[in-house]
């Protein structure tokens, strides 16, 4: 297996093949983790787990860079990565330096293989699927691309209980949705649309509308709807903050606050995401993070969290997500993940009053 390049520049500079294949600078990936644009620095985490956090980050960046930037046959490279990854759980020594570092985390924290392989599968899907027919399809993608991260982090802390995991999945899915809503223009330039096609139809938005430099009223209404839906998902998962101790609580409050601040930035941009991703200021992120932390410390927060976990578990089992279709199955064809027609989408008018508000 040749080494695989994993450059870490936030500008996402295309990877360059080295003379002996593609190089994997593991130490560079680890150094980049604290510098990444996280809502909370990993340095707030206990020293005992900081290495593990950075190892998880290095692995996730390696997978993302392979799926987005690697030269050559990306599917073949991802398959080879998956095979080398599996060696960790069969008692062998992985060839890739990043995976050797990850092996220590897996052993020390007794982590299962599934979340790691799901991240690889998400990037395989990125090579095959560029459109999502329904919100349910997009949520299924998030179970591969986002939810595994939260499960890994809970596993590192020994806190991956079913009630925490179900809330973590909601938070991670919401953060992924917020990123997709911010990056509509950037994703479209790369040939991808994460906005559900059924929602484009509902609001009368075409792909040509998304290529404009300024959002039309229809696009703004669509984005208001999607922001409201993502906000509901993050609110469902936010009680997780009160279910974890110490510094992890601070870190999770930062992630929840960062997600809410990102959605708020879209709202403050009057739902125009076509000129580039609206970004939250650091003071706004801090404001939302402190609010999430304060809520977690309020009397009765633990009881609220356990109730939220029970509700999330029940709704997940029923396939009930905010504004999602009911009972839809997914098949991929023509570069699109296709499902049955939409059911139960909230009326567009229910989110329109938010437009132009400043809170």
For every residue of 218-272, DSSP letters joined together read HHHHHHHHHHHHHHHHHHHHGGGGGGS-HHHHHHHHHHHHHHHHHHHHHHHTTT-
**Is there a shared CATH topology between the 23-128 domain and the 129-359 domain?**
yes
Least Cα distance to 132 among 341, 339, 355 occurs for 339
Beta carbons of 153 and 237 less than 8 angstroms apart: no
The hierarchical CATH code for the domain 129-359 is 1.10.600.10
* Beta strands, E only, the chain: 131-132, 330-333, 336-339
For every residue of 298-337, DSSP letters joined together read STTHHHHHHHHHHHHHHHHHTT--TT--SS--EEEETTEE
What is the bridge-based pairing of β-strands 336-339 and 330-333?
A: antiparallel
Beta carbons of 56 and 44 less than 8 angstroms apart: no
φ, ψ at 337 (rounded to 5°): -85, 115
Q: What is the pLDDT of residue 26?
A: 47
Q: Which two tokens stand for residue 263?
A: 């959605």
| Architecture per CATH, 23-128 | Orthogonal Bundle (1.10)
Per-residue tens of pLDDT for the chain, all 359 residues: 333 333 233 333 333 333 223 344 444 444 444 434 344 556 677 787 888 988 999 999 999 999 988 888 999 999 999 999 999 999 899 999 999 999 999 999 999 999 999 999 999 999 999 999 999 999 999 999 999 999 999 999 999 999 999 999 999 999 999 999 999 999 999 999 999 999 999 999 999 999 999 999 999 999 999 999 999 999 999 999 999 998 899 999 999 999 999 999 999 999 999 999 999 999 999 999 999 999 999 877 777 777 777 677 766 655 656 656 533 344 333 455 433 333 333 443 333 333 333 23
Listed by start position, the domains of the chain span 23-128, 129-359
Handedness of CA 251, 257, 260, 266 (dihedral sign): negative
Q: Which two tokens stand for residue 152?
A: 């890994």
Helix (H, G, I), strand (E, B) or coil at 165: helix
How far is residue 231's CA from residue 256's CA, in Å, rounded to a whole number?
A: 10
């Amino acid at each position: 297996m040749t080494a695989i390049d994993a450059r870490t520049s936030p500008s996402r500079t295309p990877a360059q093949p080295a003379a002996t294949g593609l190089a994997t600078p593991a130490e560079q990936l680890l150094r980049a983790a604290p510098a990444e644009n996280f809502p909370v620095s990993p340095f707030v985490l206990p020293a005992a787990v900081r290495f593990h956090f950075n190892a998880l980050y290095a692995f996730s960046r390696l997978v993302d860079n392979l799926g987005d930037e690697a030269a050559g046959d990306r599917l073949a490279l991802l398959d080879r990565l998956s095979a080398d990854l599996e060696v960790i759980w069969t008692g062998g020594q992985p060839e890739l330096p990043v995976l050797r570092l990850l092996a220590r985390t897996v052993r020390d924290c007794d982590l299962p293989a599934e979340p790691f392989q799901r991240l690889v599968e998400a990037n395989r899907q990125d090579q095959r699927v560029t459109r999502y027919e329904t919100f349910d399809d997009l949520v299924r993608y998030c179970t591969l691309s986002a939810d595994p991260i939260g499960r890994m982090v809970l596993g590192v802390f020994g806190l991956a209980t079913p009630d925490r995991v179900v809330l973590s999945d909601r938070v991670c899915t919401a953060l992924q949705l917020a990123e997709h809503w911010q990056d509509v223009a950037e994703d479209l330039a790369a040939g991808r649309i994460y906005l559900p096609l059924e929602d484009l139809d509902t609001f009368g938005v075409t792909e040509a509308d998304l290529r404009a430099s300024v959002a039309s009223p229809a696009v703004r209404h669509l984005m208001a709807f999607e922001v409201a839906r993502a906000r509901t998902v993050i609110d469902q998962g936010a009680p997780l903050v009160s279910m974890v101790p110490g510094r992890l609580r601070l870190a999770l409050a930062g992630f929840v606050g960062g997600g809410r601040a990102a959605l708020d930035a879209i709202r403050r941009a009057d739902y125009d995401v076509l000129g580039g991703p609206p970004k939250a200021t650091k003071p706004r992120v801090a404001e939302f993070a402190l609010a999430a932390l304060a809520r977690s410390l309020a009397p009765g927060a633990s009881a609220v969290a356990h109730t939220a976990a029970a509700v999330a578990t029940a709704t997940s089992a029923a396939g009930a997500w905010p504004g999602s279709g009911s009972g839809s199955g997914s098949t991929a064809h023509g570069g699109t993940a296709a499902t049955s027609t939409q059911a139960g989408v909230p009326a567009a008018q229910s989110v329109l009053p938010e437009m132009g508000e400043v809170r």
